[in-house]
Amino acid sequence: MQVDIVTIFPAMFAEPLKTGVVGRGIERGVLAVNVRDLRDFTTDRHRVVDDVAYGGGPGMVLKPEPIFRALDAIAAGAGAAPRVLLTSPQGERLTQAVAERLSGSPHLVILCGRYEGVDDRVRTRVDEEVSIGDFVLSGGELAALVIVDAVARLLPGVVGDEQSVAEDSFNRGLLDFPHFTRPAQLIWDGIGPAELAVPEVLLSGNHAEIRRWRKRQALARTLERRPDLLSTAAIAALDDEEREILAELKKSRETAELP
Ligand code: 9D3
């Protein structure tokens, strides 16, 4: 997959694209990311990328021509038309389903918006707008990195363990179960040793019991913290054992709330 990122802050991408799963995807040649400085597509001596808003008001708006020129340059160097994304608070919320859909595109362009806004005529060249959630960022650069990370790990050969991708919590529609590593007993300051002990079942070697405990923990956490994830469709996708555990958990929560 090729990704072109158009930004006024190219420096924000250097380390993140060298690091971790995304860095490895690039190293392995599964992913190529070109970061393009919007100022390189200006034609004036001062490399101006923004201007005041028509109609007045505070803040500057990204000018259309440098963005159009950047898109034309990217298209000229590409075989097929890339899919053009604009990061924007008005966009469709990034979800695992959106990441999966985008991962099927051989070539993405991500235009990074800024706080004050982008000239609306840019939208004539945009296939979709993507938001990463309901909070205010100062620009689209971090959103672009989030999109690249979520999409890159879905490309075959990027994450070492394909199974871990398949088993991912949002794929299964459940939150993760708790994890522990050594030591089994931990003494720390004022925290009681019982509170810091690794659950016995995980030390038992009984793999059927461990699987059931993990399912129970994942379901209990989801019911407690993200009940919105347990839609009818999500419940239908559970296995029989999970549905049985969920029914049990719901029942014990009902009785616990009785006076
Ligand atoms: C004065 C601007 N705000 C008035 C309602 C709107 C606004 C525009 C642009 C708020 C933030 C931004 C900058 N944010 C992004 O470019 C952005 C973003 C975000 O803020 N949250 C979640 N996802 C994204 S994707 C791009």
Among 86, 98, 137, 145, say which to mutate for ligand 1: greatest number of ligand atoms within 8 Å of CB: 137
Among 136, 138, 141, say which to mutate for ligand 1: greatest number of ligand atoms within 8 Å of CB: 136
SS3 240: helix
SS3 148: helix
* Residue closest by Cα to atom 12 of ligand 1: 115
- Report the catalytic residues: 89, 116, 153, 168
pLDDT > 70 in the chain, percent: 98
Ligand 1 center–CA 113 separation, angstroms: 8
* Residue closest by Cα to atom 6 of ligand 1: 115
- What is the rounded distance in angstroms from the CA atom of residue 4 to the CA atom of residue 142? 15
Is the N-terminal amide bond of 259 cis, ω within 30° of 0?
A: no
The answer to whether the CB of 113 is under 6 A from ligand 1 is yes
Atom from ligand 1 closest to the CA of residue 113? 16
The answer to whether the CB of 136 is under 6 A from ligand 1 is yes
The answer to whether the CB of 169 is under 6 A from ligand 1 is no
Instruction: Let me know the angle formed at the C-alpha of 1 by 17 and 173, rounded to the nearest 5 degrees.
Output: 80
pLDDT in the model for residue 169:
53
Structure tokens at 2: 């090729």
Other C-beta atoms closer than 10 Å to the C-beta of 118 total 23
Among 88, 93, 112, say which to mutate for ligand 1: greatest number of ligand atoms within 8 Å of CB: 88
- What is the rounded distance in angstroms from the CA atom of residue 139 to the CA atom of residue 175? 29
Q: Is 80 in contact with 93 (CB distance < 8 Å)?
A: no
Could you list the pLDDT tens digit for every one of the 259 residues in the chain?
999 999 999 999 999 999 999 999 999 999 999 999 999 999 999 999 999 999 999 999 999 999 999 999 999 999 999 999 999 999 999 999 999 999 999 999 999 998 789 999 999 999 999 999 999 999 999 999 999 999 999 999 999 887 778 777 556 799 999 999 999 999 999 999 999 999 999 999 999 999 999 999 999 999 999 999 999 999 999 999 999 999 999 999 988 877 6
Q: Measured in Å, how far apart are the chain's first and last C-alpha atoms?
A: 58
**177-219, pLDDT tens digit by residue?**
999 999 999 999 999 999 999 999 999 999 999 999 999 999 9
The answer to whether the CB of 132 is under 6 A from ligand 1 is yes
Beta bridge mates, 110? 5, 85
- What is the rounded distance in angstroms from the CA atom of residue 166 to the CA atom of residue 246? 22
The answer to whether the CB of 133 is under 6 A from ligand 1 is yes
